Structure 1
Amino acid sequence: MKLNNIEHVFFDLDHTLWDFDRNSALAFKEVFEKQKIELDIEKFLEVYIPINFKYWELYRNDSVTKEALRYGRLKESFDTLKFETQDTTINLIADDYIEYLPNNNHLLEGSIEILDKLKQDYKLHIITNGFEEVQHKKMRNSSILDYFETVTTSEEAGVKKPHPLIFEKAIAKSGANKSNSVMIGDNLEADIIGAHQFGLHVIYLDYNGQSVQNQYPQIQKLKELLNYL
């Protein structure tokens, strides 16, 4: 079912266009080699990914700081694996990871194709909870920055999705209206429910195929956006 009168398309970045899981794994591989961390990367990621998800939820709710997120997700992962390391090493790993993460630039399947297609008819934008200094590097290094008219980060807005003020900031910055805008993202609470409650059209990207049941338009592949746009 096509959405009518859409002129502005707002994307989340991580897990929506930018292949966070793949790029993150590559960054950790580099960091562990540099810091001589003798852990199986697959076993580490199996523990780290849900812990990282938990810390991002805490960060979205202002329950932890950016610094506490960067340290805590690593410390808790190492503790769970009973891998002993010093706080100084954890902080070095945290810093290296942020430095190396944007150097990997894999995108989710169909990202460039769908951006090429949508750019012909719509104004494209990014709304992201990611860190200001990292997100622009990710987009530049993966050659997608020029597709977007505006990029709104949570650090710039002073609040994180799903807070309505970040959507308000993005709408004002873009010159869009709620009625002619759609938000596309992978996080049901932050991207979809938050944007919908603000008054935007929404499309939920179930990028890892979990088939989450919800009331919103839902896709599993980016190319399916053409069913709506």
Structure 2
Amino acid sequence: MTGIAHIFFDLDHTLWDFDQNSSLTFQQIFKEQNITLDLNEFLEVYIPLNLQYWKLYREEKIAKEELRYRRLKDVFDTLNFNASDALIDQVSEDYIKYLSDYNFLIDGTLEILEYLKPKYKLHIITNGFKEVQHKKLMKSGIRDFFDLIVTSESVGVKKPNPKIFNFALKEVNSKPENCIMVGDSLEADVMGAKNLGIQPIFYDPKQEETVENNVLTIRSLLEIKQFL
């Protein structure tokens, strides 16, 4: 790829190992709150429900507070676990508080960032909550790789809304054709970037999505070395 000056990365599920860190967070909370549910059974229900609620949040159909409450309430109800609103609120609060204490990264993250940093300007565009995403970057030790951190809360819209990509382009003073977006969401990252003329790289380690032939897809972050 020629003419590329800026690389935007998604954070959760792309660089920061959300699934592993989230599991460890719930493990800590269950112990502290004496929640007797089997963690694996809980996660089996929680993970797809959480994705559904994040899609609604991304589409501006629910607020942040509703996402945090409903994703837990629905899981407890599904598993027939009697959880009071007070407990749900506490779990929700603790989850946000503890999540950034666990900082496993996706395999290859440090190696690919160290490889790219001398050659390109690196940035983050994330739909995650502002107060949590900055902590994740700092505590995982990767904050210094990035020049610009763009969160959906700071801009007021979420990927794939073109406003968040236009905001990032303006901040780095670049044309779309001189940028790449790397992310794990076909809707938010790939199509959002492509609609603005930004070259997307789709990180799909589990090969779960069917993509257009002209969308560059990688199974490992280190595959980026083949193109940049």
**TM-score, length basis structure 1:** 0.97
Q: CA deviation at 1:211?
A: 5.3
Partner of 1:5: 3
Q: What is the identity, as a one-letter code, of the residue corresponding to 1:226? A: K
Residue-pair matches, total: 227
Residues 1:176 and 2:174 are matched in the alignment: yes
Return the offset for 1:92: 0.2
* Post-superposition CA distance 1:140-188 (Å, at most 9, x none): 0000000000000000110000000000111111222211100000000
Report the equivalent of 1:224. 223
Is 1:214 aligned to residue 218 of structure 2? Answer: no
Matched, 1:108 2:101: no
**Residue in 2 aligned with 1:203?**
201
CA distance in 1, matches of 2:43, 2:153: 27
Q: Kindly indicate whether residue 186 of structure 2 is the aligned counterpart of residue 188 of structure 1.
A: yes
- For the Cα contact (< 8 Å) 1:185–1:203, is it kept in 2? yes
Consecutive unaligned residues of structure 2, counting only runs of 5 or more, are none
Asked if 2 retains the 8 angstrom alpha-carbon contact of 1:15 and 1:207, the reply is no
TM-score, normalization by structure 2: 0.98
SS at match of 2:100: helix
- Structure 1's consecutive aligned runs of 4 or more residues displaced over 6 angstroms after TM superposition are none
* C-alpha contact 1:16 1:207 (8 A) present in aligned 2: no
Aligned mates of 2:121, 2:23 — CA distance in 1: 32
**What corresponds to 2:53 in structure 1?**
55
Contact 1:206–1:212 (8 Å) recurs in 2: no
Match of 1:117 among 115, 118, 128: 115
Equivalent-residue separation in structure 2 for 1:115 and 1:23 (angstroms): 20
Shift of 1:212: 3.1
CA distance, structure 2, for counterparts of residue 207 and residue 19 of structure 1: 12
Q: Residue type of the partner of 2:129?
A: F
Q: Deviations over 1:59-78 (max 9, x none)?
A: 00111100000000000011
204-213 or 32-41, which deviates more: 204-213
Q: How far 1:4 sits from its partner (Å)?
A: 1.5
Counterpart secondary structure, 1:103: coil
The Cα offsets for residues 53-110 of structure 1, whole Å up to 9 and x where unpaired, read as 0000000011110000000000001111111110010000000000000000000000
Structure-2 separation of matches of 1:141 and 1:177: 32
